């Protein structure tokens, strides 16, 4: 699944091509996504100017004059800006055709993505929409730090990995980045979140922020299904310390990287470096 850096990379890639343009037409080839595209959606967005783009967690918000397009890449989705004349590939489910002869093309082999229009401003959508209203702070924003994690963890006993992956605690820390940040912070992923002190949470929060920023700079992780909006893979996967490296030597101490399951997700860690 594309994680927050992949979504942020996509946002930064498509934003200059969409802002200030007008939607000439919405062409829907396959409406059966995770949330079905209503038959009247093209009529509602056709002709609207694109005022801006933003991101909330792993959701992209395309600000229109009379509402907002809410986009999620699902498990395997991607967005590219291509000429309208470019032949669609299999699984190119819709084109947001712009008034300059190009289109934003949504590709999603597993059809688990979302591309819907809501007749609300982006600000109102973030505070009221069921998919957005209960989300925690952005890990790169001012509302996220170790004090925040420490305060929310006091009355909970779940594994710290599950805790930082809870979107009501902080958004966008998916499985890859949870594994990597806990390794860099020296915290065992199965440790109960209420047994971790304030200073260790401050280090963990700083590590999460730094790791995500590094990944964004490098274009995200290279997953099987993810490519950047320009079609090139990201390069952060070359920097992974523990994720996907079970049995290989730890890059710090040489101990074989361990693998367990926490919350039904594969979890990688070093038995020596993390405690």
Phi, then psi, of 187 in degrees rounded to 5: -110, 130
- The percent of the chain in helix, strand and coil, each rounded to the nearest 5, is 30, 25, 50
Does 200 count as an annotated binding residue? no
Does 34 count as an annotated binding residue? no
How deeply is 224 buried, as exposed, middle or buried, from its count of CB atoms within 10 A (0-12, 13-18, 19+)? Answer: exposed
Q: Can 58 be counted among the known catalytic residues?
A: yes
Find the catalytic residue in 44, 203, 209, 265: 265
Find the catalytic residue in 3, 6, 118, 126: 3
Place of tokens 């395997």: 76
- If phi > 0 it is left, if psi is from -120 to 50 it is alpha, else beta; for residue 189 that is alpha
Find the catalytic residue in 58, 102, 105, 228: 58
User: Measured between alpha carbons, how far is 106 from 76 in angstroms, rounded to an integer?
Assistant: 11
Q: Report the DSSP beta bridge partners of residue 59.
A: 56, 72
Does 110 count as an annotated binding residue? yes
Q: Can 189 be counted among the known catalytic residues?
A: no
CB crowding 40-64: b at 16 or more within 10 Å, else e = ebbebbeebebeebebbbbbbbbbb
Binding residues for DNA: 91, 110, 156
Active-site residues: which are they?
2-3, 58, 265
Query: Binding-site residues, please?
Result: 91, 110, 156
């Amino acid at each position: 699944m594309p994680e927050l850096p992949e979504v942020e990379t996509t946002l930064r890639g498509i934003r200059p091509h969409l802002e200030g343009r007008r939607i000439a037409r919405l062409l829907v080839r396959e409406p059966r996504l995770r949330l079905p595209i209503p038959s009247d959606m093209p009529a509602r967005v056709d002709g609207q100017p694109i005022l801006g783009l933003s991101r909330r967690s792993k959701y992209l918000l395309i600000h229109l004059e009379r509402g907002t397009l809410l986009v999620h890449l699902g498990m395997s989705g991607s967005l590219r800006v291509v000429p309208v004349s470019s032949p669609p590939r299999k699984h190119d489910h819709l084109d947001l055709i712009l008034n300059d002869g190009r289109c934003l093309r949504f590709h999603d082999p597993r059809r688990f993505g979302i591309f819907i229009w809501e007749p609300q401003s982006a600000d109102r959508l973030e505070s009221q929409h069921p998919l957005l209203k209960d989300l925690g702070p952005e890990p790169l924003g001012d509302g996220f730090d170790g004090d925040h994690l420490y305060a929310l963890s006091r009355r909970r006993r779940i594994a710290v990995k599950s805790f930082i992956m809870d979107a009501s605690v902080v958004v966008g820390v998916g499985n890859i980045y949870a594994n990597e940040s806990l390794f860099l912070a020296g915290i065992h992923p199965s440790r109960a979140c209420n047994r971790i002190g304030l200073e260790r949470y401050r280090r963990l929060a700083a590590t999460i922020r730094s790791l995500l920023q590094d990944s964004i700079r490098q274009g995200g992780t290279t997953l099987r299904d993810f490519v950047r909006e320009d079609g090139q893979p990201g390069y952060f996967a070359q920097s992974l310390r523990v994720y996907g490296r079970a049995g290989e030597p730890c890059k710090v101490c040489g101990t074989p990287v361990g693998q367990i399951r926490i919350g039904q997700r594969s979890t990688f860690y070093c038995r020596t470096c993390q405690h």
